[in-house]
Chains A and B, each alone.
Chain A
Amino acid sequence: MNSEPDTLTLPEPKSFELLPKGIDSNQAGDLLEVSMGPQHPSTHGVFRMDVVLDGERVVKLKPVFGYLHRNHEKIGENTTYLGSMPYTDRLDYFCSLTNNWAYALTVEKLAGLQIPERAEYIRVITAELTRLQNHACLGGFLLQDMGASGTPLMYAFREREKILDLFESLTGARMMCNYMRFGGCRCDLPSGWIEQAKQVVESFPKFLDEFEALLNENEILMTRTQGVGVVSKALAVNASITGPMLRATGVNYDIRKVDHYGIYDRFAFRVPLGAHGDVYDRYMIRVLEMRESVKILQQALRDIPGGPIVDPKAKLRGFRPKPGEAYGRIEAPKGELGFYLISDGSPNPYRYRVRPPSLINLTVLEDMCLGHLVGDVVVILGSVDIVLGEVDR
């Protein structure tokens, strides 16, 4: 299909040493236990870390979550299949359309529905737009955590706003889209939407150039991120980390490539891979992934066919899949998002389980933070890209 290689390795970055290496703190002293969060501005929501410090260095870290628990899975078992769809928007509230897709994909597997061609294209387009805005904001938030207060975040939000406008004119809501349905999508693209989307996609590389010029060679960014929060390949695989965090360690695992869900086989794009597994690689992987997403979007917006947008067999009311179980997963911007459903033939699922990427990516937080400064903990947490709506569910 495409002659260029499937993966893309990060170029070896420049490096700087502005600060002296850490002072060896073997002198006996008291340990200090600090509770960071849940109201700490750098914890991206209501997340708490119990940090034990030796001077300024972390010797122990315990993540505490559950402050935003909303009983998502139990509610899923008590409402109809369709009724859970708007709740999935609220898992990872930055990327409602990929959540919708993962859930719809699982139910389609369960019920054996066929998705029309046009709906598949719309799903790819909306998912990649979601990835663009998520990664752009993550870059902004990460830099905000490092002290670049406002400027990069506001630039990212300016771009995100254009994508959210597209979502609003398509789905009616900016964040809680509730757009996908079992067997397709809720409504067709409004007239002129493709042209608007093309415009946004064409102007996005300009923003990326600007963003990279703003920060990529910034010496402060490099010293704060290079060699900080390293995850080894083995640890990443053993802890079942997914998404950009896994690829930053150099493991070539992108569900769009390995699971062939949707119609991703038809698009030429590469998977960026890091080499060091540190915060810098995680940041750069996301920047490069945005460029690849732009490529996918250009191809999808060019090739989108006409036709129906929903499987005629799919029923909106009285939907009862036959008894069975299904696991569906997609490459969400944060990693592998999976839904596991068991049907007993009734209108509600018997079991409804979510595999959230950011919760599982958080499990290596202590390994990443040990030995680093308190200020680095904030940066490392920022690079994991968590959304507490999804962690606590």
Chain B
Amino acid sequence: MLGEGIIKGMVETARNFAGSFVDEDRLTTVQYPEERLPQKEAARNFPFLVYDGKDPEAGLRCVACQICEKECPPQCIYITKSKDRKPDHAGKPQFFPAVFDIDVSVCMSCQICVEVCPFDAIKMDTEFELSTDDRFGDLLQHKEDLARPNTYFQKLHPTDAAESDARLAAERAKAEAKQKADAEAKAKAAAVPKPSPAQVSNVVPALAK
């Protein structure tokens, strides 16, 4: 019968329409921005810099190695290395970024900077409402705008954060063990009795020969 197919289709539409009042599966939209879906753990949008402790300046993990600047596909990271050094989380003196800027308008959130960073210093945020009315000022984010505490990272990506924390803790433990070993070696060297002046006087003429 002509028109049978159309009627069949209409029945399907009617079923969906009526179903949307009772069936969760058929009503899939949420009323953004009042209502929001929970973010996925893997979600990524724009990078941020991680710092340990309370002070964003002192605890910043970035050592300005500039690997992310080189690897960034759209080249949106700008880093200037510092002249002097400051101790990193394991107490080793390291350079730090005097300038670390990321251009929001160029960044394509590909996560390659995060993958190549050997220091767990840059991570992906999940914040997606980045719009601003200042086109030139606010779209270039500086070190101060990008710095976030480690606790923030732990909250966003618990699995990743646990991994990186474990890695960093191992590094710190290694550094501490080395420091201890060094100290012990020094102590040992100090404990060895100093050669007597007589012996020294014997040596010096020998060298003078």
Q: Is the CB of A317 within 8 A of B40?
A: no
B32-73: which have CB < 8 Å to A? Answer: 40-44, 67, 71-73
A187 to B42, CA, bound (A): 10
Q: Is the CB of A218 within 8 A of B41?
A: no
Q: Is A298 positioned at the interface, with any CB of B under 8 Å from its CB?
A: no
A 69-108 binary contact with B (CB < 8 Å = 1; else 0): 0000000000110111111010000000000000000000
Q: Is B3 positioned at the interface, with any CB of A under 8 Å from its CB?
A: yes
Residues of the B chain whose Cβ atoms lie less than 8 Å from the Cβ of A33 = none
Residues of the B chain whose Cβ atoms lie less than 8 Å from the Cβ of A367 = none
A155 to B116, CA, bound (A): 40
Q: Is the CB of B110 within 8 A of A317?
A: no
Given contacts A168-B42, A214-B9, contact A176 B108 (CB under 8 A): yes
B95-123: which have CB < 8 Å to A? Answer: 108-112, 115-116
Tell me the minimal C-beta distance from A284 to chain B in angstroms. 14
Residues of the B chain whose Cβ atoms lie less than 8 Å from the Cβ of A316 = 115-116
User: Per DSSP, are chain A's interface residues mostly helix, strand or loop, or mixed?
Assistant: helix
Residues of the B chain whose Cβ atoms lie less than 8 Å from the Cβ of A263 = none
Tell me the minimal C-beta distance from A225 to chain B in angstroms. 13
Q: Is B154 positioned at the interface, with any CB of A under 8 Å from its CB?
A: no
Give the bracket for the number of chain A residues in contact with chain B: 35 or more
Q: Is the CB of A83 within 8 A of B42?
A: no
Residues of the A chain whose Cβ atoms lie less than 8 Å from the Cβ of B44 = 172-173
Q: Is the CB of A219 within 8 A of B43?
A: no
A317 to B116, CA, bound (A): 7
A219 to B1, CA, bound (A): 10
Q: Is the CB of B5 within 8 A of A155?
A: no
A165 to B110, CA, bound (A): 18
Best-buried of B6, B9, B72 by chain A (most CB within 10 Å): B9
A171 to B40, CA, bound (A): 10
Q: Is the CB of A178 within 8 A of B41?
A: no
Given contacts A84-B73, A176-B109, A190-B41, contact A219 B5 (CB under 8 A): yes
Neighbour of A79 across the interface among B8, B16, B73, CB < 8 A: B73
Q: Is the CB of B16 within 8 A of A155?
A: yes
Q: Is the CB of A186 within 8 A of B115?
A: yes
Q: Is A258 positioned at the interface, with any CB of B under 8 Å from its CB?
A: no
A299 to B99, CA, bound (A): 52
Chain A residue, CB-CB nearest to B75: A79
Q: Is A158 positioned at the interface, with any CB of B under 8 Å from its CB?
A: yes
Residues of the A chain whose Cβ atoms lie less than 8 Å from the Cβ of B108 = 86, 176
A317 to B13, CA, bound (A): 53
Residues of the B chain whose Cβ atoms lie less than 8 Å from the Cβ of A155 = 16
A135-173: which have CB < 8 Å to B? Answer: 151, 155, 158, 161, 165, 168-173
Q: Is A16 positioned at the interface, with any CB of B under 8 Å from its CB?
A: yes
Chain B residue, CB-CB nearest to A80: B71
Tell me the minimal C-beta distance from A28 to chain B in angstroms. 38
Residues of the B chain whose Cβ atoms lie less than 8 Å from the Cβ of A84 = 73
Q: Is B12 positioned at the interface, with any CB of A under 8 Å from its CB?
A: yes
Q: Is the CB of A172 within 8 A of B13?
A: no
Best-buried of B4, B42, B44, B116 by chain A (most CB within 10 Å): B42
Residues of the A chain whose Cβ atoms lie less than 8 Å from the Cβ of B8 = 213-214, 217-218
Q: Is the CB of B42 within 8 A of A170?
A: yes
Best-buried of B4, B5, B8, B44 by chain A (most CB within 10 Å): B5
Chain A residue, CB-CB nearest to B16: A155
Neighbour of A82 across the interface among B6, B13, B41, B112, CB < 8 A: B112
Neighbour of B4 across the interface among A89, A215, A217, CB < 8 A: A217
Q: Is B199 positioned at the interface, with any CB of A under 8 Å from its CB?
A: no
Q: Is B2 positioned at the interface, with any CB of A under 8 Å from its CB?
A: yes
A220 to B6, CA, bound (A): 8
B 171-196 binary contact with A (CB < 8 Å = 1; else 0): 00000000000000000000000000
Neighbour of A172 across the interface among B16, B28, B124, CB < 8 A: B124
B104-159: which have CB < 8 Å to A? Answer: 108-112, 115-116, 124, 159
A217 to B40, CA, bound (A): 40
Chain A residue, CB-CB nearest to B37: A165
Tell me the minimal C-beta distance from A328 to chain B in angstroms. 20
Neighbour of B73 across the interface among A18, A86, A161, A170, CB < 8 A: A86
Q: Is the CB of A190 within 8 A of B42?
A: yes
Residues of the B chain whose Cβ atoms lie less than 8 Å from the Cβ of A16 = 2
A169 to B37, CA, bound (A): 13
Neighbour of B40 across the interface among A82, A168, A218, CB < 8 A: A168
Q: Is the CB of B5 within 8 A of A216?
A: yes
Tell me the minimal C-beta distance from A207 to chain B in angstroms. 10
Neighbour of A86 across the interface among B12, B16, B110, CB < 8 A: B110
Tell me the minimal C-beta distance from B66 to chain A in angstroms. 12
Q: Is the CB of B6 within 8 A of A317?
A: no
A86 to B16, CA, bound (A): 38
Q: Which B residues are within 8 Å of any A CB, using their own CB?
A: 2-6, 8-9, 12-13, 16, 28, 40-44, 67, 71-73, 108-112, 115-116, 124, 159
CB-CB nearest 5 A-B residue pairs: A217-B5, A86-B110, A83-B73, A172-B44, A172-B42
Q: Can you report 29 A-B residue pairs in the complex whose CB atoms are below 8 A from each other? A: A16-B2, A80-B71, A82-B71, A83-B72, A85-B73, A85-B110, A86-B73, A86-B108, A158-B28, A165-B40, A168-B40, A168-B42, A170-B42, A171-B42, A172-B44, A172-B111, A176-B108, A178-B112, A187-B42, A190-B41, A190-B42, A210-B12, A213-B8, A213-B12, A214-B13, A217-B5, A218-B6, A218-B9, A222-B5
